[in-house]
Structures are given as structure tokens and as C-alpha cells.
Amino acid sequence: MAGVPGVFNWLYGIFLRCLQRLDWLGPLVLRIYLAPIFILSGMNKVSHIGDVAAWFGNPDWGLGLPAPVLMAWVAALTELIGGIALLAGLGVRLVALPLLIVMAVAAVTAHWQYGWSALPDKTLVMPWEWRRDLIEAAAVRKEKAVALLKAYGDYEWLTAAGNFTVLKNGIEFAATYFIMLLSLLFTGAGRYASLDYWVSRRSGGRESRDP
């Protein structure tokens, strides 16, 4: 039995060395996941820049931000260029910073008043949710809407592509993207599958060093 801990430590050491050689997969998956989100969001903002600026600037039904046209272009280009850079793995640490700022601004200005959750799911309420009242209010409205749809609409057809719900629109997605970007800020683009790695390798930089 005395040899069991030694065998376990040996196997665990092999496991850790394998993970170390595959550590580039983590940043790659984060980049592949985030890139299309930002690219599509940026393209949508650019193609509807007037509407975005109007929403940014209007204090009644929008965000009431100063210099809305400038802010709209900054957000659109940051997301579009940042998403392309993430996909290519080029300057990932540099583009992560403005994208982090965009996510923080979006969370505070557009989503904070709705709390944490994006959807009012009673069974998945996080301990830090500060707008539980909206979850209860959404549940009441959902029940009422479902009753109306069943009474006056083809409910089976209406829900064939997914169940009916009410958007709570909290900071959940913005916060999740923020955390993922924060991870990339510290790890960089990762080895092998990024332009940052090959540029650094050519110049003898730190990111090109294998474990």
C-alpha cells in the first residue's frame, strides 16, 4: 500500500504535463466563442449606426449617453475590429482592454437596472441577484401571456421553435463576456493557433516559449 501514493503522484504528474502541453486550447476556445459574437454585433451596429446613436443618446427610451454618434461608432468599431483580432489571435491582450470597457459600459448603462439574470428563471437564481422582484413580476406576466396565447392563438405553433419567455435583460451575458475577456487579457491568445504566437516566436518573445 505504501507505493499507492507514489503511483498516484506519478500518474498525476503525467496528467499535468499533458494539460500543460494543451494549455493553448483554453484561449483558443475562448477566442472562437467570443469572436463571432463581437463581429456580428459590430457589423449590426455599423449597418444601423443611426438607430444605435439615437438609442445611445435618447434619455427617455434610450441610454442617455453623451456624444451618442461618437459613442456608437466607438462601440461598433471596437466590437468589429476586436472580434476580428480575437479570431486571428492578433494583439489579443491589446484588444481585450477596449472590449472589456465596452462590456462594462453596456452592463452599467443598459442592463444594471434589470439585475443579474438575462432570463427570469426561478430555478436558476444566483445568490447575488439584486432584482428578484423582476423575476417574480416576469413570472406573473408570463403566466398571463401564456393564458392569452392559449385562449386566442395557436399556442402549439407559437411554441414549436421554443418555449415562450420574458426577457429580463440583466447583466449576465455582458458579465460573462467580461470574465472571458479578462481571462484572455492575462493568458494572451495562446500558443500555436494565433498570430501573436508566431509573431512572438519570430521575434523570440516570451509567448513563443513552449513548456
Residues 50-64: tens digit of each pLDDT:
999 999 999 988 899
Q: Where are the domains of the chain?
A: 26-113+171-211, 116-169
Distance CA 23, CA 60 (A): 48
Residues recorded for the chain: 211
Residues 97-135: tens digit of each pLDDT:
999 999 999 999 999 999 999 988 888 889 999 999 999
With a pLDDT cut of 90, the percent of the chain lying above it is 72
Distance CA 69, CA 56 (A): 8
SS3 87: helix
The pTM for the full model equals 0.88
Distance CA 127, CA 116 (A): 10
Residues 135-170: tens digit of each pLDDT:
999 989 999 999 999 999 899 998 999 888 889 999
